[in-house]
Amino acid sequence: MAPGEPIECLAAIAWEAKKPLDVTKVIVAPPGPGEVRIKIIATALCHTDAYTLDGLDPEGLFPCILGHEAAGVVESVGEGVTSVKPGDHVIPCYQAYCGDCKFCKHPESNLCISVRAFTGKGVMKADGKPRFTTLDGKPIFHFMGTSTFSEYTVVHEQSVALVDKTAPLDKVCLLGCGVATGWGAVFNTAKVQPGTSVAVFGLGAVGLAVIEAAARAGASRIIAVDINADKFPAAKEWGATECINPKDHDKPIQAVINELTEWGCDYTFECIGNVAVMRAALECAHRGWGQSVVVGVAAAGQEISTRPFQLVTGRQWKGTAFGGYKSRVQVPQLVDEYLAGGTLLDKYITHRLPFTQINEAFDLLHSGKTLRTVLTF
């Protein structure tokens, strides 16, 4: 097709909550000023896609095109775009980076606000409209500023990480969300030190990524916690030194861990999205200095609680979004580390399917038997 033309391509439309996705043709408009049109090569599924599709996100907009863990090739760029060009290999980042806002300039934050107001509404900043339409012209909302469940998508330039051309896109797509989040929670949020103790709650891809990073950071004791013992062999393989199933104990899990470690762990990570487990994780962080990091995303409206005494006696409660990585700057570095052989990225991919089988991939996600399913076009 000629540059600057609309593209007709395959996408998965979420028409409404709790309905299977409709794999069908859509029209993707050319990129507007400051925008990039990307040909998606591979996309994985993450719980946030399922959460929105299940209608649990009160801000979820329908119809929309979900998807936020992907990699692809730049097809064309809109007016004023200078950081990428057609043919570049990229990872779309739901956590944007402009380099210029208060959050980008702060060394401890990645919560860029440059396009957030628009990505939250499912539209593009230039004109407040989406770039997707049905064949008969109905608008379809974007999702998380990425909408990767489409052969082509349009994103803001602030949401595009330029990566090494030799990286396999059907693997590094995982760096768009879950695995990078787990690694970053360890390196950026907790800053895990060598010789320390760590407890990880929830052993899906995110929890395993925390274990992997904690092992790389030199933690000497890594306690893996899950109510599904089938998750333990992988946890050990990824670097856990011991595994605990809360169901095997009469006492609350925090009491079990506090007893095992005397005063708790130097760092604990909640990778489930369960507020009761968040409390347990805080309460088995070490008295005096233990840090507990909330990584899992709890359902809308949920609240966390603990006795203030837990904080008075030195425990710290923290949280992280996209592992604190400044996306456009650091995702390319994560790709380079992968290419240098330092990370376990390939092992998180337990299933591969063609894009047209995306609904089966959602069934797999709900089955609890997958780490990540990668779909290719």
Catalytic residue numbers read 46-48, 68-69, 98, 101, 104, 112, 116, 177, 372
Residue 52 or 114: the one with the smaller Cβ distance to Zn ion is: 114
| ∠ CA 64-88-111, rounded to 5° | 55
Q: Applying CB under 6 A, does 176 fall inside the site for ligand APR?
A: no
- Of 24, 193, 228, 313, the one binding ligand APR by CB under 6 A: 228
Give SS3 for 347. helix
Tokens of 23: 């794999």
Binding mask 38-57 for ligand APR (x = CB under 6 A): ---------xx---------
- Burial string for 136-171 (b: 16+ CB within 10 Å, else e) reads eeeebbbbbbbbbbbbbbbbbbbbbbbbeeebbbbb
Report the nearest approach of ligand APR to the CB of residue 213 (Å).
14
Select from ligand APR, Zn ion, none the partner in contact with residue 112, using the beta carbon and a kind-dependent cut-off of 5 to 8 Å: Zn ion
Tell how far CA 37 is from the center of its chain: 21
Burial 67-105 (b: 16+ CB within 10 A, else e): bbbbbbebbbbbeebeebeeebbbbbbbbbbbeebebbe
Binders in 294-333 for ligand APR, by CB under 6 A: 295-297
Q: How far is the CB of 88 from ligand APR (least distance, A)?
A: 27
Which residue, 28 or 180, is less far from Zn ion as judged by CB? Answer: 180
Shortest gap between Cβ of 94 and ligand APR (angstroms)? 11
Identify what 41 binds: Zn ion, ligand APR, none; CB under 5 to 8 Å per kind. none
Residue 272: CB minimum distance to Zn ion, A: 14
Q: Which of residues 106-165 bind ligand APR (CB under 6 A)?
A: none
* Contact status: 205 vs ligand APR (CB under 6 A): yes
297 binds, among Zn ion, ligand APR, none (CB under 5 to 8 A by kind): ligand APR
Q: How far apart are CA 240 and CA 255, in angstroms?
A: 20
Rounded distance between C-alpha atoms, residue 368 and residue 231, angstroms: 10
Q: Which of 140, 277, 281, 282 binds ligand APR (CB under 6 A)?
A: 277
What is the Cα–Cα distance from 125 to 320, expressed in whole angstroms? 26
CB burial readout 272-287, b (16+ within 10 A) else e: bbbbebbbbbbbbbbe
**Distance in angstroms (rounded) separating the CA atoms of residues 130 and 122:** 7
- The reply on whether position 178 binds ligand APR by CB under 6 A is yes
Q: Which residues bind ligand APR (CB under 6 A)?
A: 47-48, 178, 201-207, 225-228, 231, 246, 271-274, 277, 295-297
